[in-house]
Amino acid sequence: MDLGIKGKVAMVTGGSRGLGRQIAMTLAREGCDVAICARSVEGLQPAVEQLVPFKGRAIGVQADVTDDASIARFYEETVKTLGPVSILVSNAGGTRGGRDFATTTDKDWMDTLNINLMSAVKLTRLVLPGMVERKWGRVVSVSSIFGREHGGALSYMTAKAALIAFSKHMALAYAKDNVLFNTVAPGSIRFPGGSWDRFSTTNPPAVVKEFIDRNLPMGRFGWPEPIGETVAFLCSDRADLITGASLNVDGGQSRSLF
């Protein structure tokens, strides 16, 4: 199925590994010109090289999405090299510091909110005027099922819930401009170097099996490819009536009916 996004310029944060890398590869396969960013320069070039065979243009920019100057540089390098941005995928995220109320400092709260929520807000502020002017834009943010129901660290859960709320509000505000905002909520996805990979390799097999049996109906951790496909679909012309949605991609892991 032709998604109708060939030649569109896409920005993907946290694009050098894991879900971000898979999302970037899927968009490149669909014909997008893709810019990725990451804090570490080491993983950028290998990730960009994976995008090149899809025949589109691709660049990697070293940028920390919690730093305003880095965010601006990522956007400016993308526009200068690839052109006006039509697709933004805010994928960078994680937990900083403590995991419960007693151990989470004010700095932990702000750091976690900055990487998960404010990076998306600030990048949206940069790309949105052009999308509105051209009457076409897609903004997809990677949240989590733990932004929809209980699970994970307190600050992470709060930040991901806020990201969903931000996207819903923006979706209604800019629907008339054909700028669509959605979130994808992955479940427990395993990829090299990710948190579930660390969990699986550092815990006894019996502990890992118990977690899988208790939480994952498919009997295994999720994998990145379905996340990439879902994001690409939401970025496409084929999803032009979907805005303000949060789609679980979790193999049935979620317990909420909403």
Residue 41, pLDDT score: 87
125 inside domain:
yes
Domains in the chain, number: 2
Residue 258, pLDDT score: 73
Is the domain of 48 the same as that of 105? yes
* Chain centre distance of CA 91: 2
Q: In the block, which residue shows the tokens 């193999």?
A: 251
Catalytic positions, please?
Answer: 156
Is the domain of 93 the same as that of 181? yes
Is the domain of 194 the same as that of 125? no
Residue 42, pLDDT score: 86
4 inside domain:
no
Nearest to 11 by CA among 34, 40, 39: 34
Domain with 207, as residue range(s), is 190-221
Tokens read off for 119: 């990076």
* Chain centre distance of CA 164: 12
Residue 52, pLDDT score: 87
Q: What is the pLDDT along the chain (258 residues), one digit of tens a residue?
A: 799 999 999 999 999 999 999 999 999 999 999 999 999 888 899 999 999 889 889 999 999 999 999 999 999 999 999 999 999 999 999 999 999 999 999 999 999 999 999 999 999 999 999 999 999 999 999 999 999 999 999 999 999 999 999 999 999 999 999 999 999 999 999 999 889 999 999 999 999 999 999 999 999 999 999 999 999 999 999 999 999 999 999 999 999 877
Is the domain of 117 the same as that of 25? yes
Alpha-helical segments (H) within the chain: 18-29, 44-51, 68-81, 106-113, 119-134, 154-174, 195-202, 205-215, 225-234
For residues 222 and 251, the answer to whether their CB atoms sit within 8 Å is yes
257 inside domain:
no
Tokens read off for 28: 């490149």
Is the domain of 213 the same as that of 239? no
25 inside domain:
yes
1 inside domain:
no
Is the domain of 205 the same as that of 129? no
What angle do the packed helices 195-202 and 205-215 form, to 10 degrees?
130
- The DSSP letter of residue 190 is -
Is the domain of 19 the same as that of 137? yes
207 inside domain:
yes
- Other Cβ atoms closer than 10 A to 150: 9
Q: In the block, which residue shows the tokens 């993983």?
A: 43
Is the domain of 114 the same as that of 211? no
Residue 40, pLDDT score: 87
What angle do the packed helices 106-113 and 154-174 form, to 10 degrees?
40
Tokens read off for 89: 């995928």
158 inside domain:
yes
Quote the CA–CA distance of 55 and 75 in Å, as a whole number: 22
Is the domain of 117 the same as that of 206? no
17 inside domain:
yes
Quote the CA–CA distance of 8 and 191 in Å, as a whole number: 28
- The DSSP letter of residue 8 is -
Is the domain of 200 the same as that of 85? no
Residue 73, pLDDT score: 97
**CATH code of 35's domain:** 3.40.50.720
Is the domain of 142 the same as that of 77? yes
Quote the CA–CA distance of 96 and 85 in Å, as a whole number: 30
Is the domain of 209 the same as that of 93? no
